[in-house]
Amino acid sequence: MATITIEIGKKNKKRLHPVSFLVCEGRTKKRIPTGITATDSELTTNGKRIREPEKAKMIEQKRRELQERLDALQLESLGTATMDAQEIAARLTQGEQVLDFFTFTDEWLRRHDIKGAKNYRTMLNRLEEHLGRRSLPFAQITYPLLDGFAQTMHDKPRAASLYLGQMRHLYREAMRRYNTDYDQPIQNDPFLRFRVPRQPMKKGVRALTLKQLLAIYRYKGKAHSRPQLARDCFVLSFCLMGMNSVDMYSAKTLTRGVLKYNRTKTKDRRSDDAYIEVKVHPVIAKLIKRYRGNSRVFSFHERYRDESTFNKALNIGLKTVGEAVGIDGLQFYQARHTFATLSRNLMHFSKGDVDEALNHVGSYDIADIYIQKDFSVINDNNFRLLDRVFGGSTAADANTAADSGKADAAKT
């Protein structure tokens, strides 16, 4: 009579023990992988059993399911030729469809070209590390599992918020794909009970004061040095309504003094493709000219292989700038925070206008249906802000701005 037992394998290259079900019939044997692995600490002293409660329960539940199938199979085959272990294992697993979170996510990432794919893969690696295996049936994604995963990142709130938010998104994507009105293989959405932790943020603390911003503006480093590049790009970001480094790296259109681009971070999930037009103020005309590119607006792509390397270089350079002007931990993204804060607190622009200038979706969905898009409002606001912040320094660059505009017109 055939039997099914749990087998703990020898350690693999990752120093993990693979767990399998061993089907034995006569002198024949066949292993059925579980996709589960265990560390030395999760095994009993003799290494023959799993003592980690959650894994032990999961494996035993699966063994009982296979045993029930085996009992039914043996009753069905009474009086017929004896099957060997390989055929029995094939019959036991035949037609078994287990919807797996890792498998679904890998396939989903292949079908969707998204900017955050790297973060999703990092989440999968972190989840695999937590589970001790690279398999997770959707039926096993429960409140306790999610809570346990969150606890492993209690000291990294941003990662906890990001990764569990991604899991929620993928879980519901799978429900939309596989569930129908008549068949619901993925049931009991655990995210109705489990609340994805929100990253604690102290609002406004990343913004600089006007005095600090002007100190960065007046900073002069060695020509062509990384700190000088970082300072210049920080000023560009502030004056271009908080433009991100990835968009500086990839923007391709500057026509008659107007920079046009789609915000990379959100263009894939917005109906307007996160499109924005930013009018170049005279205060940055020289910087625009200094870093003008050929195939793209700026030449940064000619110096750095990708946007991540470019952003890293900026933050390294800003560390030197910050030390020189007395700002600890200065980072590039603070230019965007500072633009938003001074627009609101110094100029008293409405939060709606600040949101639009930052190229956020905002909360005026119905009004947006009726109002034709016009970027002149936010650009007029931006010019008023820059005139107030930089004062007379803009006049000296006015002629350069005119020359730059002519050059842009010639290129287009």
268, two tokens: 């894939």
- Residue 356 banded pLDDT, cuts 50, 70, 90: very high
Pick the residue with more confidence: 343 or 391? 343
pLDDT the model gives residue 251? 95
Length of the chain: 412
Q: Which stretches does DSSP call E strand in 178-312? A: 253-255, 258-262, 275-279
pLDDT the model gives residue 395? 40
* pLDDT mean over 379-391: 95
**CA atoms of 388 and 347, how far apart (whole Å):** 8
**CA atoms of 307 and 313, how far apart (whole Å):** 10
**Residue range 328-353, pLDDT digits in tens:** 999 999 999 999 999 999 999 999 99
pLDDT the model gives residue 363? 56
* pLDDT mean over 266-287: 88
Candidates 149, 137, 148, 150; CA nearest to 188 is 137
Q: How far is residue 192 from each of residues 101, 171, 189, measured CA to CA in Å?
A: 18, 12, 6
Candidates 209, 214, 204; CA nearest to 386 is 214
257: left (phi over 0), alpha (psi -120 to 50) or beta: left
pLDDT the model gives residue 400? 39
pLDDT the model gives residue 203? 52
Q: Please list, residue by residue across 308-324, b when 16 or more beta carbons sit within 10 angstroms of its beta carbon and e when fewer do.
A: eebbebbbebbbbbbeb
**Residue range 129-152, pLDDT digits in tens:** 999 989 999 988 999 999 999 999
* pLDDT mean over 371-395: 83
Candidates 397, 341, 311, 317; CA nearest to 212 is 341
- What DSSP designation does 138 have? G
**Domain extents for the chain?**
3-93, 101-192, 210-411
263: left (phi over 0), alpha (psi -120 to 50) or beta: beta
What mean pLDDT, rounded, does the chain reach?
86
Residue 405 has pLDDT above 70, yes or no: no
Residue 76 has pLDDT above 80, yes or no: no
Taking the CA of residue 322 as centre, how many other CA atoms within 13 Å lie in the half-sphere pointing to its CB?
16
Enter the pTM of the model: 0.59
Q: How far is residue 358 from each of residues 15, 140, 243, 274, 282, measured CA to CA in Å?
A: 48, 41, 8, 10, 20
- The arrangement of secondary structure in 210-411, i.e. its CATH architecture, is Orthogonal Bundle (1.10)
Pick the residue with more confidence: 271 or 258? 258
Pick the residue with more confidence: 118 or 362? 118
Q: What angle do CA 251, 400, 243 make, to 5 degrees?
A: 30
Asked if 252 and 271 touch (Cβ cutoff 8 Å), the reply is no
> Range with the lowest mean pLDDT among 1-5, 191-195, 271-275, 296-300?
271-275
**CA atoms of 88 and 333, how far apart (whole Å):** 60
The three-class DSSP label of residue 297 is coil
Q: How far is residue 209 from each of residues 206, 212, 339, 340, measured CA to CA in Å?
A: 10, 5, 10, 12
Candidates 308, 340, 299; CA nearest to 213 is 340
pLDDT the model gives residue 112? 85
pLDDT the model gives residue 387? 96
Pick the residue with more confidence: 183 or 272? 272
CA 367 to chain centre: 30
* pLDDT mean over 232-237: 97
Pick the residue with more confidence: 12 or 219? 219
Q: 103: Cβ–Cβ under 8 A, 6 or more apart, which residues?
A: 135
Q: 102: Cβ–Cβ under 8 A, 6 or more apart, which residues?
A: 124, 127, 128, 134, 135, 136
pLDDT the model gives residue 37? 84
Asked if 207 and 338 touch (Cβ cutoff 8 Å), the reply is yes
* pLDDT mean over 74-96: 75
- Residue 153 banded pLDDT, cuts 50, 70, 90: very high
**CA atoms of 102 and 124, how far apart (whole Å):** 7
**CB-count exposure of residue 187 (10 Å: 0-12, 13-18, 19+):** exposed
Residue 32: which H helix or E strand, with range? strand 28-38
Residue 366 has pLDDT above 70, yes or no: no
Residue 378 has pLDDT above 70, yes or no: yes
For the chain, give the percent of residues with pLDDT over 70. Answer: 87
pLDDT the model gives residue 411? 41
pLDDT the model gives residue 364? 56
pLDDT the model gives residue 398? 38
Q: Which long-range contacts (CB under 8 A, 24 or more apart) does 165-168 make?
A: 165/196, 166/119, 166/120, 166/123, 167/101, 167/123, 167/127, 167/141, 168/196
- Residue 96 banded pLDDT, cuts 50, 70, 90: low
**Residue range 280-330, pLDDT digits in tens:** 999 999 999 999 999 999 999 999 999 999 999 999 999 999 999 999 999
